[in-house]
Amino acid sequence: MSDIKMNGLNGILDSLDSMANMENVEGALSKACMLVERSAKQKAPKGNGELRRSITSRIESNETETVGVVFTPLEYAPYVEYGTGLFAEDGGRLDVPWNYKDDEGNWHSTSGMKPQPFLRPAFNENKEAILRILQEGITDG
């Protein structure tokens, strides 16, 4: 699973930490997560729909922080997001092409798969809306 972090929110986070009514904060985080989740589902490759259906969000809290998380539990999701082999965003396999046998015993050869980002663009394209939602959650609290 890949993590996306947003820097520069110290003032907002300080306000969030000091709020007595965390219910408003969690509501704002949930609304922001749903915005990113919807966008990620629209941007995810169609395929058989499994990846799109798996994208979800949740709010996680502990003693020191409350965070909103948009994610997919599918093991292959990072390969879709970042690509593989020669096409991987951060380098990748240089010993290409490579061969593999599928479940039916058929042999295949590949040099990798191009990235098809869906989570990062969903977050990046909604940053301003996320900030607005969080600000409203703080001021309405």
- The more confident residue out of 1 and 63 is 63
Give the integer Cα–Cα distance in Å for 139 and 63.
22
What is the residue type of 38?
R
Give residue 86's pLDDT. 85
**CA nearest neighbour of 137 among 30, 49, 7:** 30
- The more confident residue out of 5 and 32 is 32
What is the residue type of 12?
I
Give residue 60's pLDDT. 93
Give residue 90's pLDDT. 80
Model confidence at 91: pLDDT above 50: yes
Give the integer Cα–Cα distance in Å for 115 and 89.
7
